[in-house]
Structure formats: C-alpha cells, structure tokens
Structure 1
Amino acid sequence: MSSPSGALPLRTGRSRSRRTFPQGRQALQAASLVACIVLWHLAATQRWHFGLVTFANVPPPAEVLSAAWALLQSPKLLAHLGSSLLRVGVGFGLAALAGVAGGLLIGRLRVARDTLMPPLEVLRPIPAVAWIPLAILMFPSSEGSMMFITFIGALFPILLNTIHGVEAVDARLIASARSLGTRPLRLFTEVITPGAAPSIVTGLSIGMGTCWFCLVTAEMIAGQYGIGYYTWESYTVQNYPAIIVGMLVIGVLGMGSAGTVVAAGRWLMPWTRPAGGPR
C-alpha cells in the first residue's frame, strides 16, 4: 500500500506547474516587448547605423510616448478611430459573407469552381493600391471606395481558406451522411461547414489583418479621418513621432481584432479544443 505522503507532493507539484505555466508565458511575452523597446531606445539615441539602414532620424520611445499622449488629448482621436473601425467593420463583414459563402460553393460544386475561379484568380494578384483609382471612379463617395478596398483585401484570404477547408473534409464523413439520408442543405450546414470551420477561422483572421493593411493604404490617398490618414498627415508635416504612434495604433487594433476573431472561432468550435485545454 502506497503512503499518502508519497502521492500528495506529486499531485501538488503537477497542479502548481499547470497554474504557473501561463504566468511564465506572460512573463516571457512581456520581457520580449521590453527588450524590443530597449533596443529601439538604444538604436535611436545612439544613432546606430547598419550599412543601408540608419536610426539617426528615428524618434526614441520617449518622444513617441509624448506624441501618443498628445493624440489621446486630441479632439480628433474619436473621429480617427471611429472612421477606421467603421470602414474595417463594413468591409470585413461583407468579405466574410461573400468569402465563406463563395468558398463553400466553389469548394463543393464543380460548376461553381469552373465558372467563378478563373476570374477570381485573375483578380487575386492585383494589389490594393491598384484598386484605388477604379474604386474612386466606381463609388461617388470616398467612404464607399475605402470600404470597397478593405472588402477586396479581406475577400481572397477568406475565400481561399474556406475552399481549402471544404476540400480537406473527410470524404468518408460526407459518404456516411449521404448514406443516412442527409439532404444537401443539411450536408452543408452539419457536415461540410463544421469540418471546414478551422480553416474558415484562419482565413477570417488573416483577412482581418489584410483589412487593416488595405485600409491604411486607402486612407492615405482618399481619407480625411482615420488612423491611416493620421499617419500620412504626420509624415507630410514632418511629425515623425506621430508616425510611429499611428503605426503602433494600427498594429494594436489589427492584433486585437484578429485575436477577437480567433477567440470567437474557438468559442464557436468547442470540438477543436484539446481535452487538456490550450497549451
């Protein structure tokens, strides 16, 4: 018979390691951010020079922090944030609907693939910047053109990932569902869509990041408010710390929105989570 004194420390040690492991990850992540800031400070203040790359004109973190505080006190902050979030929300929402629906059809129906994929493959390599003049001609308002640019940027990652997800669904599951008398509509909703869901969420996350990339490009040319316009305006007036503030705001918003998409996908797909939880 084993003594309790030999079993209790083993269980306690395991539970402690499981509780402290997330804290260790958070400490490592925070340390990596601090290290990047320290290197940035040293490179800007010491004016490091590496061949073709120089940090002589890069503002240090202290100046960027001062510019960020000025932006927080600016009455235009809410207008910049609201404009960018609205454009991304509308463009991404439309791209999600069109990309997921189109990907399910193209991935499953040969007729849809033969008729829709050739023109889509021609349009897919066109960069967002090349769409801006045509978007201005197509839409009477600048808001519509910028939303269209974000839509185009997010559409193709969502579409292609959905197609790959549908193609990766196990054919045995589809055959089993058909043998049980599942109708085509329920086959889509109960077999194909859940099976392709992980790829769809990946495409949505990538599309959200592309949305912000395309939005900044559009706002630099056609916007009056928005974080991209704020960044470009700061460059034209040679307010270099504000440029980095705009870049960091875009990065935080893009990371937060993409992370929200991934978290929502995990919540909606409990069957994809491992039994032991995330590691």
Structure 2
Amino acid sequence: MTLSAQTIPLAPTSTRDTEVLARSTARGFAVPTRLRTALLTAVPLAALLLLWYLLTANQVVFWLRFDKIPTPAEVFDSFRTQAGTHSYYSNITSSMRRILIGFGLATVAGVLIGMAIGRSPLVNALVRPVLEVFRPIPAIALVPLAILLFPTGEQGIVFITFFAAFFPVAVSTIHAMHALPRVWEEAARTLGAGRFAILFRIALPGALPGIFSGLSVAMGVAWICVISAEMISGQFGIGYFTWQSYGLLDYPGVVVGMLSIGVLGWATAWLVEVVGRRVNRWLPRAVR
C-alpha cells in the first residue's frame, strides 16, 4: 500500500517554517489589517466626540467654559445647512486652489534651491545667508506687504502660502543633500557617471526621504498661513467663511469651518504621505 504526499502533512523543517505555518493557520481568525487600522483611527475620534457632547450638553464650567460652546447636534445641523449651499463648496475650492498652487511652487523652488545650496559651496555662500535672514519671518506678517505688492488679494494669499511652505522644503533638502554618503558619489564617478547623472540619478533619489519629511511639515504650515491670510484679507476661502461666521455670532458655523479645515489638512497630508511612500518604495522599511 502506498501513501500519497497529499494525505500526510509535511512537518516544518525550521523555526521559520513553524512561524509561517502558525501564521497561516491563524490567519482565518485574525482581524484584517485595514479593518484594524480603521478601528484604531475611529476610537480616539469617537472618544473625543463623546467628551465634546458630555461637556457641552451638561454646560460644564470648570476654568474652561463649555456652556457657550455649541453641541455636536448644533454643529451637525449647521453643517447640513452649509452642505446644501454653493458658497460652502466655493470657499473650499478657493482654499484648495491656493494651497495647491502655493505648495506646488514651494516644492519646485525649495527642492531646486536646496539642491543647489547643498551641492555647491559657491551657491551656499551666496544664497544661504539670504535664506536664513528671511526664514524666521512669519509668513502671516507679510500680509500688509503682499497687499501692497500684488494687484489682487488672490495673488497675495498664494504668495504667503508659497513663502510659508518654501523654507521647510528648502531646509530639509539641504540637510538631505549633506546626509548623503560620499561613497555613492565616488562609486558613480568610478563607473563613469557625469555631473548631471550623479545629481539626478544618485543625489536626488537618495535625498527624497528627507525631502518628503520637509514636504509633510510644509503642508501643515501652508494650511496655517493660508487660513490666517484668508481671515485677514481674503474674500473667499474656508478661513474667510470661519471668520465671517464668527462676525455673525454663528458659533456652530465657526466649528464647521474649523472641522472643515482639519479634514482638508488631514486629506492633503495623507496625499503627501502616499506619494512619498510610492516614491521611496526602494527603502527597506517601505518594502517591509
């Protein structure tokens, strides 16, 4: 009588095989990764919503005054009203357009100038002092100057957004260039690579992880400054909507504007992170 290989399970031949077999056996009982991530994301948000409801519904006054803060139900009713109007979506579109243009220009200019400063001692000596003089200036402090410089308020807000996002990108690019191992460049030169090949096929890909760290910071700073500029001198935008609601004593509308800003900022930061993961797929951690 012969026994087929299908009737007798083969024993694991190593510890690694044992772990793989145990993992595959338990996989049917495990929670899917995406569902687990979604649950972990939803739990703190639900807890925050519950705390908000309890504090406002009971009108708690303990140093902080929650008796004047709108309840979640009032904010939801205000959001439902705003979601049925054209102006709400027009304001969101205006803010997104300013963010995309200002952040896009800051990305291109910051990476190019950062690469030039990080690679060339001459450019570093000429440009770095100017960069360091303007970097500490808050972008929102340029609102009066932007009103004088640009013919329209739209151009001025885009300039402020660009100014705010430019410096995190440029500085992160400079540091990423300085952190590159010299052996990469020496090996490329040994193999006959020219200056531009080293710059765009060795230096730039190697610096991309550091550059995307700066892009993540720049996106958050850009949102802070574009909302502030819209509140001061804008006529459209979600920041203008929030400030206008405050002027009309529409406090649920103020919270709707704040939450809209938070969701938009979260979405754009997530988009930068997704692009960064795809671009930096060659990293060992990204593969894992």
**Superposed pair shares fold, TM > 0.5:** yes
Distance in structure 2 (CA, Å) of the matches to 1:15 and 1:198: 33
* Residue type of the alignment partner of 1:45: A
Q: CA RMSD, aligned part only? A: 2.1
- Structure 2 contact 280–286 (Cα < 8 Å) conserved: no
Q: Counterpart in 1 of 2:164?
A: 153
Identity %: 39
Q: Identify the match of residue 138 of structure 1 among 149, 157, 175.
A: 149
Distance 1:273 1:58, change over 3 A: farther
Distance in structure 2 (CA, Å) of the matches to 1:111 and 1:55: 57
Q: Counterpart in 1 of 2:196?
A: 185
Using the TM superposition, give the Cα deviation of residue 49 of structure 1 relative to its aligned residue in structure 2, in angstroms.
Answer: 3.0
Q: Identify the match of residue 95 of structure 1 among 95, 106, 127.
A: 106
Q: Which runs of 4+ in 1 moved over 4 A?
A: 2-9, 16-19
Is it true that 1:123 corresponds to 2:134 in the alignment?
yes
* Residue type of the alignment partner of 1:114: A
Distance in structure 2 (CA, Å) of the matches to 1:221 and 1:40: 29
Is it true that 1:32 corresponds to 2:44 in the alignment?
yes
Q: Counterpart in 2 of 1:107?
A: 118
Distance 1:275 1:124, change over 3 A: closer
Using the TM superposition, give the Cα deviation of residue 121 of structure 1 relative to its aligned residue in structure 2, in angstroms.
Answer: 0.9
Distance 1:13 1:48, change over 3 A: farther
- Tell me the TM-score normalised to structure 2 length: 0.90
* Residue type of the alignment partner of 1:269: N
- Structure 2 contact 166–218 (Cα < 8 Å) conserved: yes
Distance 1:58 1:139, change over 3 A: same
- Tell me the TM-score normalised to structure 1 length: 0.92
3-state SS of 1:58 partner? coil
Distance in structure 1 (CA, Å) of the matches to 2:249 and 2:23: 61
- Structure 2 contact 70–252 (Cα < 8 Å) conserved: yes
Is it true that 1:214 corresponds to 2:213 in the alignment?
no
- Structure 1 contact 49–56 (Cα < 8 Å) conserved: yes
* Residue type of the alignment partner of 1:103: G
1:1-279 maps to which residues of 2 (within 5 A)? 3-4=9-10, 10-13=22-25, 15-16=27-28, 20-51=32-63, 53-272=64-283, 274=285, 277=288
3-state SS of 2:285 partner? coil
Distance in structure 2 (CA, Å) of the matches to 1:19 and 1:165: 39
3-state SS of 2:270 partner? helix
* Residue type of the alignment partner of 1:227: I
Runs of 5+ consecutive residues of structure 2 not aligned to the other structure: 1-7, 13-17
- Structure 1 contact 266–272 (Cα < 8 Å) conserved: no
Distance 1:45 1:70, change over 3 A: same
* Residue type of the alignment partner of 2:230: E
3-state SS of 2:236 partner? coil
Distance in structure 1 (CA, Å) of the matches to 2:112 and 2:84: 43
Runs of 5+ consecutive residues of structure 1 not aligned to the other structure: none
3-state SS of 2:266 partner? helix
3-state SS of 1:225 partner? coil
Using the TM superposition, give the Cα deviation of residue 135 of structure 1 relative to its aligned residue in structure 2, in angstroms.
Answer: 0.6
- Structure 2 contact 281–287 (Cα < 8 Å) conserved: no
How many residue pairs are counted as aligned between the two chains?
276
Distance in structure 1 (CA, Å) of the matches to 2:109 and 2:51: 43
